[in-house]
């Protein structure tokens, strides 16, 4: 029966396509193409969709067909019964319809019953058709819950691939800038510095041009280093999250107490997200919180990475005011993480971030 349900399903799909009002997606076959009958039977027994199709073909389908036949029969009987006055007078003399006034009440009763059947019959046919379409969509097609689950898994996998690709692209740009433009600028600055120290017999105007060019080259190197660090810091890839966060804390414009407790390294994408969340959060503290210090705690709780950033500032942080908190939350959510902000007016402000250890 399970193997036969596949051919019956194809026939039902063709029927609904011919009606033109319902297109049912084809469920995935339980067994690979070319499998033997025993393998196909085992796969069909274990396939939930096959049992649903069997339920339609041998239970829901016959019951709905019977309901449709009853509706059509009600239409026919109702048409005959509702016109009893039209044809009862055609009966020959002496028939029961002419034998006495008491038969008028029976004629009225039959006519009323016919009217009711004429109303019920079409409704029953239409209703059974609608139920048939719903049953076919739910039983003959793929399982909606399974399809939604599969689509969620596909979307999660696609998002993880996009995040990984973006992180890999940032690392590539960082390497290109570090090994290319930055090295050229360093060489240029060295040559200008050497010219500045060794050339003594040049006019003052020319020396001033050399000095200005040397200082501009040094400023460009500093800006490029900040840009490279913002794309993907080398220390994060070489030495891990602990060392990278120590660098952030050391460069912060206010004192930062750092506590890191990690038993192992996270995936590169998670480390990058954690690094940039901490970097942007401390930048927000320095810019908006009016704080005198900040505390940064990073710990590993099972398969989650927990980051807590707190300060003694004025509080009142509101993501809707465009302080970068929305971007922090979106960055954490990009890897199925969460970000919770507690910032009452008057302080303190605490940002708690939880990220999965692997992506």
Residue among 338, 333, 340, 352 at smallest CA distance from 160: 333
Same domain, 43 and 67: yes
- In order, the DSSP letters of 63-120 are HHHHHHHHHHHHHHHHHHHHTHHHHHTTSPTTSGGGS-THHHHHHHHHHHHHHHHHHH
Higher pLDDT, 205 or 51: 205
Whole-angstrom distance, CA of residue 132 vs CA of residue 109: 34
Which helix (H) or strand (E) segment holds residue 152: the answer is helix 144-176
pLDDT-derived band at 158 (thresholds 50, 70, 90) equals low
Residue carrying structure tokens 């969620």? 152
Average of per-residue pLDDT values in the chain = 76
User: What's the CATH number where 329 sits?
Assistant: 3.30.565.10
- Domain boundary among the residues 188, 209, 231 is at 231
Cβ neighbour number for residue 120 with a 10 Å cutoff: 16
Cβ(228)–Cβ(182) below 8 Å: yes
Same domain, 227 and 256: no
C-alpha to C-alpha distances, 128 to 47, 53, 59, nearest whole angstrom: 28, 18, 14
pLDDT digits (tens, 9 = 90+) for 258-286: 998 888 888 888 888 888 888 888 888 88
- Domain boundary among the residues 93, 118, 142 is at 142
Q: Read off the DSSP letter of residue 27.
A: P
Same domain, 352 and 328: yes
> Mutual orientation of helices 268-284 and 241-251 as an angle, nearest 10°?
10
Which of 23-27, 125-129, 322-326 is the most confident on average? 125-129
pLDDT digits (tens, 9 = 90+) for 228-244: 666 667 777 778 888 88
| 2 pLDDT above the threshold of 50 | no
- Domain boundary among the residues 120, 142, 164 is at 142
Is 151 within a domain? no
Same domain, 91 and 56: yes
Contacts of 116 (CB under 8 A, 6+ apart): 78
Same domain, 32 and 105: yes
Is 330 within a domain? yes
Instruction: Note the pTM of the prediction, 2 decimals.
Output: 0.52
Give me the pLDDT at residue 284, please: 86
Is 150 within a domain? no
pLDDT digits (tens, 9 = 90+) for 27-86: 555 555 555 656 665 655 556 666 677 777 777 778 888 888 888 898 888 888 888 766
Give me the pLDDT at residue 247, please: 86
Read off the pLDDT of each residue in 11-32 and give the average, rounded to a whole number.
Answer: 60
Higher pLDDT, 218 or 309: 309
Same domain, 329 and 275: yes
Whole-angstrom distance, CA of residue 12 vs CA of residue 16: 6
Give me the pLDDT at residue 117, please: 87
Residue 213 lies in domain: 156-231
**What is the bridge-based pairing of β-strands 294-301 and 338-342?**
unpaired
Cross-strand bridge partners of residue 257: 295
Q: How many domains does the structure of the chain reveal?
A: 3
Residue among 190, 66, 53 at smallest CA distance from 124: 66
Is 262 within a domain? yes
Give me the pLDDT at residue 3, please: 47
Same domain, 47 and 84: yes
Provide the percentage of residues in the chain whose pLDDT is more than 90: 5
């Amino acid at each position: 029966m399970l193997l036969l349900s596949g051919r019956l399903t194809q026939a039902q799909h063709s029927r609904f396509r011919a009606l033109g009002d319902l297109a049912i997606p084809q469920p995935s076959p339980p067994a690979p193409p070319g499998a033997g009958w025993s393998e196909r039977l085992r796969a069909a027994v274990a396939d939930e969709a096959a049992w649903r199709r069997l339920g339609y073909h041998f239970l829901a389908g016959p019951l709905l067909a019977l309901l449709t036949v009853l509706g059509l029969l009600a239409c026919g009987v109702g048409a005959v019964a509702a016109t009893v006055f039209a044809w009862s007078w055609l009966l020959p003399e002496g028939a029961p319809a002419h034998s006495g006034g008491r038969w008028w009440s029976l004629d009225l009763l039959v006519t009323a019953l016919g009217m009711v059947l004429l109303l019920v019959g079409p409704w029953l046919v239409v209703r059974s058709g609608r139920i048939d379409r719903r049953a076919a969509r739910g039983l003959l097609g793929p399982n909606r819950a399974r399809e939604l689950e599969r689509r969620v898994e596909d979307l999660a996998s696609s998002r993880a691939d996009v995040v990984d690709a973006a992180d890999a692209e940032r690392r590539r740009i960082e390497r290109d800038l570090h090994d290319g433009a930055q090295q050229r600028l360093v060489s240029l600055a060295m040559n200008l510095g050497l010219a500045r120290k060794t050339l003594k017999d040049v006019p003052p105007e020319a020396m001033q041009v050399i000095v200005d060019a040397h200082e501009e080259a040094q400023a460009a190197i500093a800006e490029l280093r900040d840009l490279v660090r913002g794309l993907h810091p080398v220390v994060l890839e070489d030495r891990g999250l602990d060392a990278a966060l120590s660098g952030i804390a050391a460069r912060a414009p206010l004192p930062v107490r750092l506590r890191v407790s990690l038993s192992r390294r996270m995936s590169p994408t998670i480390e990058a997200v954690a690094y940039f969340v901490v970097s942007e959060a401390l930048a927000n503290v320095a810019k908006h919180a009016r704080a005198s210090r900040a505390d940064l705690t990073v710990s590993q709780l099972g398969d989650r990475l927990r980051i807590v950033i707190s300060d003694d500032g004025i509080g009142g942080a509101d993501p809707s005011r465009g302080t970068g908190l929305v971007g922090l939350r979106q960055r954490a959510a990009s890897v199925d993480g969460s970000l919770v902000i507690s910032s009452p007016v008057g302080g303190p402000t605490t940002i708690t971030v939880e990220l999965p250890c692997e992506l």
